A and B are shown apart, each in its own frame.
Chain A
Amino acid sequence: MSRSSPPRWIERVLERALAPGMWSQGALGDLSEAYVRLRARRSAVLCDLWYAWQALSLLGHRILGPGPSHGTGGDLLADARWAGRVALRRPLTTCAVVLTLGLGLGANTAVVSVMHGSFRGASWWADADRTLVLWPDHEFSRGQLSIFLDQAPAYEVLGAYRLESFMIQPPGGDARSAFGALISPRLFGALRVQPTLGRGFRPEETLPGGEPVVVVSRGFWLRELGGDRSAVGSRIQVNGVPRTVVGVQGAGGTAPGHGSEVWLPLVLDPADPELFPDISYTLVGVLREGASAADGQRDLRSFGTSLSRMFPFFYRPDYLQDGTVRVAAEHERALLRTPLGLLMGGTAALLLVAALNVGNMLLVRAVERGPDFAVRRALGAGRARLVRQLATEGALLATLASILAVSVAVPGADALARLFPSELGVTRSDWTSPAVALFVSAGAALMWLVLTVVPVMSCLAGEERGLRESIGGRSAPPRALVVLQSALATTLLVGAALLVSSVANLRRLPLGFVPEGLTAATVSAPADLLRDRSRLRRFQQSLVERARSLPGATAAGMTSALPLDELPPTTPVNPRGSEVDVSVAVRAARFAVDDGFFQAMGIRLEAGRLFGSTERRPGPSAVVVNRALAEALWPGEDPVGRSVAIDPHAWSSFLPVLGVVSDMRAASLVDPPRPAVFVSLYEWSERETSLVVRSAADAALLAPAIRDAVRASDPAVPLGAVRPLSGIVRDAYGSSWVTMGLLAVLAGIATTLGALGVHAALAHHVARRRKEIGVRLALGADRSRLVRRMLGAALASTAIGVAIGCGAAAASTRLLESLLFGVSALEPLAFVLPAAAVLIVAALAALGPAARAGRMAPADVLRED
């Protein structure tokens, strides 16, 4: 049998809390005896709960004292009524307390809910602890996967996926783009959510020539397929290819990634020319029973070694030797940790500033109510009675603040989750989740405690001070309060300043193209069009021609990939005149573009010429390279007129370099521009291309016109999203933009609250020292010196706070580092400006009360009593 005596720790708490004496010993003994008796009949948990309840009852009576007649219900009601009257007597203070605490707790609850929802959301994978992401943040090709499959003993399942948007056309519906994944069938089987209708993929569907199939999400099935069970087996067009719907994912199935609607099996076709060059897949493996992550990592590294042996042209000998693996759930969380952690820190600091302000307000109110309490004490009210009264008042305020907090947190969490780019998968947790409920209750309890303890302490202290103080005993200004508030405000401001300058740096980066005024429309060529190159070319050329004649359009072009949108495939580029050698070939992003692309994008030509009418005709083509590629291949030399081989399958067919264009940031805003090679669109059949139109007209207004142009060029071609390029660039700022905005708002609120706090603290200080100041002035003290001294005292406290705040910021900006760009986490200016701002705000806040003290007429003050 388990323990049959009361929980020791509760006993210890009771022993400490109850005054040592015969009654506490007797009561504890009785409780212990009753526990043993109850334990014979009931489970330990139940008995413990009973014991804890009894302990609370003992403690409660000890602290609050019994009601005079034990008719506690009536007393409580009376207390509550009185608390209500007190709250109404000072409506402004009450509102300020409730608003400050309610909004503070509400903001924290919203962030906690979002953190909890995003982190605790079940992993994408069924066996998240054994599922590894291989070499996270790097991508692989399907060709690599097909080789790796044969030499990965540690893995039970090994597969790859790629997230992309597809052009979907359900039977009888309009084509639209939908987010989805290309995924290895076996890896699809390792996802947490599996089809509830129909089936998943079969291994043979990886092979070329298999029946084209697709699995759709439950949402897609309900919306687009009418939620009809017979939809399984029907056909929908995906990127122009009819595919059989074989399964419908269960509710919540949107992984990998967030919000996938369709899944296609990843096909490993040895004849596919893109098998190796297309490096855009994430590799994921489920470990075999008994294998560890270290085994998985060993497999990955030995795979790198064998690749470099098999293809010494492409892979250096150290390829993958620094490749790591990461547990999948960890990988999913890592994306969110920094922005959400910062946000949590920011809102918590804000709540602290708010609580300090409220504490200050309560102190002021307690001082005002001092005489009231003194009279009540004199008339025989027990100390316990007053404490209970204050506790009831605290409970009323805490309840109102909690109600406000919850009503703010519910829409707040949704709004917060929506602020983040959707692919991060930020969601709020269920409101019934115990963790969030616990947080709100703990917050409410803490508020109640603060709202009770502060006035009680102040009352008790006031009692002891008695009249001593009212005739001018010295009282220190509420220094700690000012110090803490200015420290917190400084820390938040430094964080915000760093993020603001980081985003400003990002915005200043030369993109290499001019996104303003550009609209992009994605079109996917159907399979039959893809096979017929000359028809495809006619379609593309006619589309661009029509786009150029749209109202307001000044230029138009086509490209296989939009910058900052999706990663273009990369290809090794080998210059003529050197041995075909891995140390010379440079990997470059490959863009297939038409002759209008550069002008439409605003990409500058640096040397040579761009594609012209020659390249529009079929036949051997040429390439344009960017500055980064030119420098990598021929440092310091003129690349125009040289030639390169870019097709690994036709390594010896060299294409002349027509010209050099300036670098454009295509893959990421943050990384330096990568080498890029531009080939003629008409020589490379690209399934998905984007039309870019430079126009004075708004993207939304342009969309119908572009739709008409596509339809006129070829009615069978579905049109995807029509988006302004500036939107794509904004998305590329990602979470640092959102985090910066939120942190800046938090810092602004904290500084305002801090300023109010400093003002209130000083006003309170002056009010308390009225008599002292009056006496000093009467005795001939210098007014300006008095004002200077008060200002000096306030600024000294603020300065200490600012120093602490800077220290705290320096210690914690490390967290920010991954979000910063072009600015060091210890950038002096980002510390100096906020520090100065806090000092100035504090000085302004202190000016009023200090001046009031200086203007005081001593005679009036001394006459007051």
Chain B
Amino acid sequence: MNAEFLGEFEQMVLLSILRLGEGAYGLAVRDELEAVAGRRPSSGALYTTLERLERKGLMESTAGEPSDARGGRARRYLAVTPAGKRALGHSRRALVALWDGLEAALDGS
């Protein structure tokens, strides 16, 4: 099914959430993307992607405690759902299969 394949940015976001574990929330994901993948997504891109992932059921979120530094707003902690993990695995397998045997061709370029 089409929805099972994830876009590049969706994969990166889901992987960052997994890497961060319990402390994953919007800003942390952003920092993780920047630190590990060297990518600085715009706020618009990040939050629309998060919203879409949740809508697809690949990720879920829970509200934390409000804090002053956040203007009295709560953090939304993020976790990848089993469906999300499946989708990641699916995408990874597809990519690895496609990559198979191409290392030499790429090295030669």
Contact = CB atoms under 8 A, between A and B. Distances in A.
Interface string B44-65: 1101111110100000010100
Contacts of B73: 25-26, 28-29, 32
Contacts of A609: none
Contact of B76 (A22, A34, A68): A22
Instruction: Describe A's contact surface by its main secondary structure.
Output: helix
B42 A54 contact: yes
Interface stretch (A58-66, A152-160, A446-454, A574-582): A58-66
Given A33-B69, A69-B8, A60 B44 contact: yes
Contacts of A86: none
A764 B15 CA distance: 55
Interface string A1-40: 0000110000100000000001101111111111010000
Contact of B70 (A32, A68, A70): A32
Contacts of B75: 26, 29-30
Contacts of A69: 7-8
B83 interface: no
B70 A29 contact: yes
A549 interface: no
B74 interface: yes
B71 A66 contact: no
Contacts of A33: 27, 67, 69-70
A69 B2 CA distance: 14
A6 B43 contact: no
A534 interface: no
B26 to A, nearest CB: 4
Contact of A58 (B7, B25, B47, B70): B47
Contacts of B48: 61-62, 65-66
A105 B75 CA distance: 47
A391 B73 CA distance: 34
Query: Is the interface on chain B under 10, 10 to 19, 20 to 34, or 35 or more residues?
Result: 20 to 34
Contacts of B26: 26-27, 30
Nearest to B10: A70
B57 to A, nearest CB: 15
Given A23-B50, A61-B45, A61-B48, A32 B7 contact: no
Given A26-B75, A32-B73, A36-B69, A70 B43 contact: no
Contacts of B69: 32-33, 36
A59 B70 contact: no
A321 interface: no
B47 A29 contact: no
B100 to A, nearest CB: 23
A57 interface: yes
Nearest to A59: B44
A271 B59 CA distance: 101
B45 A66 contact: yes
B7 A70 contact: yes
Contacts of A32: 69-71, 73
Nearest to B51: A23
B56 to A, nearest CB: 13
A11 B70 CA distance: 12
B45 A57 contact: yes
A33 B75 CA distance: 10
Contacts of A31: 43
A65 B25 CA distance: 22
A70 B76 contact: no
Given A66-B49, A70-B7, A5 B71 contact: yes
Contacts of B43: 27, 30-31, 54-55, 57-58
A478 B63 CA distance: 50
Given A11-B71, A32-B70, A33-B70, A61 B47 contact: yes
Given A30-B25, A30-B27, A57 B71 contact: no
A26 B42 contact: no
Contacts of B45: 57, 61, 66, 70
A515 to B, nearest CB: 70
Nearest to B62: A22
A34 B27 contact: yes
Nearest to B28: A30
Contact of B74 (A29, A55, A58, A70): A29
Contact of B8 (A28, A36, A57, A70): A70
Contact of A62 (B27, B44, B76): B44
A58 B30 CA distance: 14
Interface string B66-95: 010111011110000000000000000000
Contacts of B76: 22-23, 25-26, 29
Contacts of A62: 44, 48
Nearest to A72: B45
Contacts of B47: 23, 26-27, 58, 61
A59 B44 CA distance: 7
Interface in A69-120: 69-70
* Best-buried of A23, A28, A60 by chain B (most CB within 10 Å): A23
Nearest to A55: B43
A25 B44 contact: no
A669 B74 CA distance: 76
Nearest to A51: B43
Contacts of B61: 22, 26
Contacts of A54: 42-43
A25 B76 CA distance: 9
* Best-buried of A30, A58, A65 by chain B (most CB within 10 Å): A30
Given A25-B74, A29-B71, A70 B9 contact: yes
Contacts of B63: 22
Contact of B42 (A29, A57, A65): A57
Nearest to B46: A27
Contacts of B8: 69-70
Contacts of A70: 7-9, 45
B71 A28 contact: yes
Interface string A205-242: 00000000000000000000000000000000000000
Contacts of B7: 68-70
Nearest to B9: A70
Contacts of A29: 70-71, 73-76
A59 to B, nearest CB: 7
CB-based closest 5 A-B pairs: A61-B44, A29-B73, A26-B76, A57-B44, A29-B70
Interface of B: 7-9, 25-27, 30, 42-45, 47-52, 54, 61, 63, 67, 69-71, 73-76
Given A5-B71, A26-B75, 13 more contacts: A23-B76, A25-B74, A26-B73, A26-B74, A29-B70, A29-B71, A29-B74, A59-B44, A62-B48, A65-B48, A66-B52, A70-B7, A70-B8
Interface of A: 5-6, 11, 22-23, 25-34, 36, 54-55, 57-62, 65-66, 68-70
14 contacts: A26-B26, A28-B71, A29-B73, A30-B26, A30-B75, A31-B43, A33-B27, A54-B42, A57-B45, A58-B43, A61-B48, A68-B7, A69-B7, A69-B8
